[in-house]
Structure 1
Amino acid sequence: MDLISDEMSRRIIAAAEQIARTSGAESVTVRSILRALGISNRVFYNRFHNAAEVLDIVYANTVLKIRESLVAKFDPEQDFFQQVLDIVENTLVMSYECKRQFSQYVFESDSVSHDNYAWWTEEIKRLIEFGKARGYLRDVDSDIMSYSIWCFIRGFNADALGRKLPVAQAAAAFKYSFGILLDGLRPVPDAP
């Protein structure tokens, strides 16, 4: 059976996202989607195999939104480190808000997704290489640093969410700590 992809499919995905945002991902069931949209089983099952498939699409869309916040062009006239701090803070806030809404579901999906890990570490590596090429960063192992930064961001985000810190408090603490990490990447001045 070929599944249909149409406006109703988009409405089902939007309904699942809304249910997850208001009641948590565990509340997204075929029945809850049917009730929210007033549709029949057949309408749903002509488009999706189950609620988990719809949640996977919601998760993928969420990841894309967060990823878009990281991809940025740098203005060579502006302070590189401040631009990185601003981008990373924005990414943290978006990620924090999305993960808070989807809670355990996103963390579980995020943790097992090699694609997500590979995308993020490659993007972080791209930023490191850009900084090194312009002389903003010292010569560090880009692979190891991108992995370390990935772990720092994910660990910080997971702890802040787990302790239910307000997003402003989490963002301020993150920006402070990440700023110190960035300072450690600045080139070491040549000794006289």
Structure 2
Amino acid sequence: MATINSLDDATSILSEWDRLYNPDNNVESAQDDNVIQEKRLSLAPAVRLLSEMATQERNADSTQGRCMLGICASSAEEGVATLKSWVTALNLPRGLLHGMDKDGVPLDLSGGVYIKYNSGGVYTFGDIRKSGMGFDALWKPGDALLEPYDGTYRGVYFQVELQDEVFRQYLVPLEIFEEEEKKEGKQS
């Protein structure tokens, strides 16, 4: 597994994965399973580095350094488990999960779900007007929204916003942090 020490390293690893393994790109990979697995194992450290950079920016200014997750899962259980795994592994803020009930009555959520998570900070009304984000800016750090999803993609849209204003969004497998833990367990 490659050592990931810089923004460029992390961006390069995630961009390559996105290019080679994004189901929308229709790229056939001629690589063997060992190479693919090695590339998968470099995803968690790359995501972690970008998230840490966003956290540093957010700690300096609560309106900067956001991580957003778009979790596309086969079930509510899988989606919530993925959300917990990512938030824990990346030490992201925990907030409220909306969308699993209506007025305290659980909703029937059989089938796929999409969970939108945002680590972003709290904005003042002046900041909301300046940002043009509308009510999205009212979310508290760590809030998430779960809703039904009938798409076929299963994975996480990982987006990080840094002060350099470069758009960074990648499609990443759901279980990258579990895979990392399994590898570390084998090495112990």
Q: Same fold (TM over 0.5)?
A: no
Higher strand fraction: Structure 1 or Structure 2? Answer: 2
Larger radius of gyration: 1
**Higher relative contact order by CA 8 Å / sep ≥ 6: 1 or 2?**
2
* Higher percent of residues as helix: 1
TM norm structure 1: 0.33
